[in-house]
A = this chain, B = another copy of it.
Amino acid sequence: MTKPLATHLAQIDSILQAWGMPAAQAAETADILAYADLSGIDSHGMSMLPAYNAWRREGRLNMAAIPRIVKESPVSALVDGDDGLGHVPAAFAMRTAIAKAKAVGIGVVVVRATSHFGACGYYARMATNEGLIGMVATTASGVRVPPTGGAEAKLGTDPWCFGAPGAPGRPFLLDMATTTVAYGRVRNKANEALPTPDGWILDRSGQKTTDPTAVSERGGFLTSLGGTPENSSHKGYGLAMMVDILAGGLAGMTYPTDPLHAKGSRLDLGHFVLAMDPSLFRDGADFAESVATFADQMRATRPLDPARPVMVPGDPERATAARRMIDGIPVAPGLKTQIRAIAEAANVSWLLD
């Protein structure tokens, strides 16, 4: 019940084009979504299409959006995403940041008037592929996380990604929601009618639960990284606020505390990307080699369970990608039903049987 990457990608691409996205942009968006599925970040790939479809049908996504730079300096740019999906403007932003980093050492680009962009890691990897340090953050449309000590949701999962070049093809790549887990992992449990592990979620009164529908259907919450106040959930909460400040505040978008955040005729999300050349400080190749050594020394740590060697950020996704390049990409039954209906409604060939 798996399909090769090319087929998986073609299914996404055909749906996006049927929705009115120009071919070049559909191809890039499909590539970014398929990267997530290939890498095992199932919450941020094809499983986003139902949400994109809902936004599109509500008239809140400009499928023909063309991003453009509206403010610029040698070290920075502000990109307007033209109220479309976020993948193309975020990739454009990172290419712009990379060019600036190569010219002057650092580039910071903020995207306004944008929406969901898939997995952060894709964009940070664009920087590491060029021997640069990358940092990527985005605001989120869903408001599902209370601040520490709060009984109302005021934050999104507000992901943040950090990358650094290491061994060739094996960069350091930390792609994380600032919650204990990403919402997509809870949604996927709900799709498949499975319970969530203890500590991931709270019901709408703030009590612990393991029923994912408490969040996906009944207004419950995700916990901030740390989980409980005593175990420093204020840190996950604070990281989420900083993501909103960098990706939303600098872009002039609404904060998730605004009752109208992501509720209007456009999604008004924002992204933040940074690329930095390590050769500002030391030889770039030496630096990458030092990161590779650091990662190898970490992998050599005596494991708690001999069957489960220690990994570094980026390893799990690369291992899944290598496996799925051979075995193909699985699509869970619940999701497959949804995508099939979307493909039929869009009048495109169904490729995943």
A residues whose Cβ falls under 8 Å from a Cβ of B: 71, 73-76, 78, 104-106, 108, 110, 133, 146-152, 154, 162, 164, 172, 174, 176, 180-181, 197-200, 206, 225-228, 230-232, 234-239, 241-242, 244-246, 249-252, 255, 257-258, 276, 278, 280-282, 286-287, 290-291, 293-294, 297-298, 301-305, 308-313
Contact = CB atoms under 8 A, between A and B. Distances in A.
Contacts of A280: 71, 73, 75-76, 78, 108, 250
A208 to B, nearest CB: 12
A287 B249 contact: yes
Contact of A226 (B73, B76, B225): B225
27 contacts: A71-B280, A71-B281, A75-B280, A76-B106, A78-B280, A106-B108, A133-B245, A147-B298, A149-B308, A149-B309, A149-B311, A150-B298, A151-B303, A151-B304, A172-B241, A174-B235, A174-B239, A174-B241, A176-B232, A199-B231, A225-B225, A226-B226, A237-B313, A241-B313, A245-B294, A252-B281, A255-B294
A180 B226 contact: yes
A238 B71 contact: no
Nearest to A202: B304
A244 B304 contact: no
Nearest to A78: B281
A238 B281 contact: no
A313 B238 contact: yes
A312 B149 CA distance: 11
Given A78-B282, A172-B241, 10 more contacts: A73-B280, A105-B108, A150-B304, A154-B297, A180-B226, A199-B230, A241-B312, A244-B294, A251-B281, A255-B293
Contacts of A302: 150-152
